[in-house]
Amino acid sequence: MHADATYDAPTTFSKPAVPAEAAVALLRALGSDDAFRDLFKSDPRKALHEIGFELPVGATTPMCMMVGQLATKEEVRNAYDALYTHLTGATRTAMTVVFTFEHGRINDVVKTAA
């Protein structure tokens, strides 16, 4: 399940976007894979590594990946297109909004960012 994505930060956004391949891998895994979801909850950075996405050395884990209760698989699947757009930088708030993957908050985040 590797996207083999590298993390080149564009200079036009305050926070870099996630490469398309990594966003697809992340959303598919969050929407279907219980073991990945458990890893994501306990160690988001390691979960990103599992899908082939490496944060820059020394970078902190994006706050949008630190959630109290992870959104359900159904929530992730239902909001797939909006989350994909959000993560890949079509909105200026990609990877900066806390609670991006929080249970019950996905629609609020992607509507606000649009």
DSSP string over 76-99: HHHTHHHHHHHHTTSSTTTTTSTT
- Cα separation, 4 vs 52, whole angstroms: 4
Q: What does the block give as tokens for 10?
A: 């564009």
Q: What does the block give as tokens for 5?
A: 């994505």
Helix %, strand %, coil % of the chain (to 5): 45, 5, 50
In tens, the pLDDT along 38-77 reads: 999 998 889 999 999 888 778 777 776 778 889 999 999 9
* SS3 (DSSP) at 99: coil
Instruction: Give the Cβ contact number of residue 10 at 10 Å.
Output: 10
- Cα separation, 47 vs 52, whole angstroms: 9
**Per-residue confidence band for 11, with pLDDT thresholds at 50, 70 and 90:** very low
Q: Which of 77, 95, 86 is nearest to 114 (CA)?
A: 86
In tens, the pLDDT along 28-40 reads: 999 999 999 999 9
**Per-residue confidence band for 100, with pLDDT thresholds at 50, 70 and 90:** low
